[in-house]
Structure 1
Amino acid sequence: MGPAPREVLLFTLEGQRYGLPTEDVWELHRAARLTPLPRAPDVIEGLLNLHGRLLPVLDLRRRFRHPPRPLSPSDHFIVAQAGPRRIALRVDRAEGLRVLAPGEWDTSPRELPGVGYVSGVAKLEDGLVLVHDLRGFLSEAEALELDSALTASSEQP
């Protein structure tokens, strides 16, 4: 018996498709106003208040070296688990779920230098899609800086 099919959430950013394993994805939301988080690492766009829980929003444009763009009502937030931390990712559009057959999944990019947060590539009929592993999205220094900024913001009156 071969490996089980994988399921990924496909999304677009600046016209490029990316993916996340569905086991890391919690929910999807339309864009909402963000609150700035002073002293956060550059990769954090702000905080999202989601049902009373404050979530850091990762700036994928900065991480993937795309030009910045103001928040748009058509943007989506993907709420996901990044290791021990729940976060939100702002994307242009969440496309939907895709079940990948074993022949559509390739893990060899993980072995290349500089792709620490890529878990594999989905080989689809209309092109390749990098599937990201959120556990490595924040460097250790960024995670510590974020923790410090979140602690400082919670201590403010």
Structure 2
Amino acid sequence: MMPQPREVLLFTLEGHRYALPLEDVRELLRAVRLTPLPQAPAVVEGLLNLRGELLPVLDMRRRFRLPARPLSSSDHFVVAQAGPRRVTLRVDRAEGLLSLEANQLDAAPSELPGVGYVAGAIKLPDGLVLLHDLRTFLSEAEALELGEALAKEGARQ
């Protein structure tokens, strides 16, 4: 179970706001061109070379069933910790940090299907923001497939 965050990073995708616990966020970057990663799961958009470390870029639009769109220089990359693996998330825009009050976060209802990687909902005056748990973002099969693709890519370098 995910500990309750005190601060979150708010970001937008297709006009919708989402959040990540700040303790999972490592840094924010402007989007740059990606290197394709053959044999990676469909949720992986490509590879980012961040100071010599190859990081998979997860396609948040695909995961959230939003329309695809080409990479733009105005997009942001969020480098984050997803369990044992560092990943990069492409988002339309990182909005900033939000300090949470104790009554603002509701745990995700476990009885609803399809909320496996949602850790809760943040209640804001202008609506709800879903808080995501990156530790559960990739399925076991996707994590294995990604590990194999990264191993093959590392062997080629």
Q: Structures share a fold, TM > 0.5?
A: yes
Task: Report if the CA contact (8 A) 2:46-2:57 is conserved.
Answer: yes
Q: CA deviation at 1:29?
A: 0.2
Identity among equivalent positions (%) equals 71
Structure 1 counterpart of 2:6: 6
- Alignment match, 1:104: 104
Say whether residues 1:90 and 2:90 are aligned partners. yes
Describe the SS at the equivalent of 1:94. Answer: strand
Instruction: Look up the match of 1:125.
Output: 125
SS state of the match for residue 38, structure 1? Answer: coil
The AA in structure 2 aligned to 1:24 is D
Equivalent AA in structure 1 for residue 65 of structure 2: R
Deviations 1:21-65 (A, max 9, x none): 001000000001100000000000000011111100000000000
| 1:91-119 alpha-carbon deviations (Å, 9 max, x no partner) | 00000000110111111434433201011
Please provide the CA RMSD for this pair: 1.3
Structure 1 residue runs of 5 or longer lacking an equivalent are none
User: Gaps (5+ residues) in structure 2?
Assistant: none
Aligned 1:47-86 pairs, distance under 5 A: 47-86=47-86
Is residue 10–residue 19 contact of structure 1 (8 Å, CA) maintained in 2?
yes
| CA distance, structure 1, for counterparts of residue 108 and residue 43 of structure 2 | 27
How many residues end up aligned between the 2 structures?
A: 154
Partner of 2:142: 142
Bigger mean CA deviation after superposition, 112-121 or 32-41: 112-121
Change (3 A) 1:5 1:29: closer
Asked if 2 retains the 8 angstrom alpha-carbon contact of 1:76 and 1:93, the reply is yes
Secondary structure class of the residue paired with 2:109: helix
Rounded Cα–Cα distance in structure 1 between residues aligned with 2:131 and 2:82? 14
CA distance in 1, matches of 2:66, 2:140: 23
The answer to whether the Cα contact below 8 Å between 1:36 and 1:46 also exists between their aligned partners in 2 is yes
TM (norm. structure 2) is 0.94
One-letter amino acid of the counterpart of residue 19, structure 1: A
Q: Return the alpha-carbon distance in structure 2 between the equivalents of residues 18 and 116 of structure 1.
A: 15
Misfit runs of 4+, over 6 Å: none
TM superposition score normalised by structure 1:
0.94
Give the secondary-structure state (helix, strand or coil) at the position aligned to 2:79: strand
Deviation at 1:153, TM superposition (A): 1.0
Query: Does the Cα contact within 8 Å between 1:109 and 1:118 map onto a contact in 2?
Result: no
Which secondary structure state, in structure 2, belongs to the residue aligned with residue 109 of structure 1?
A: coil
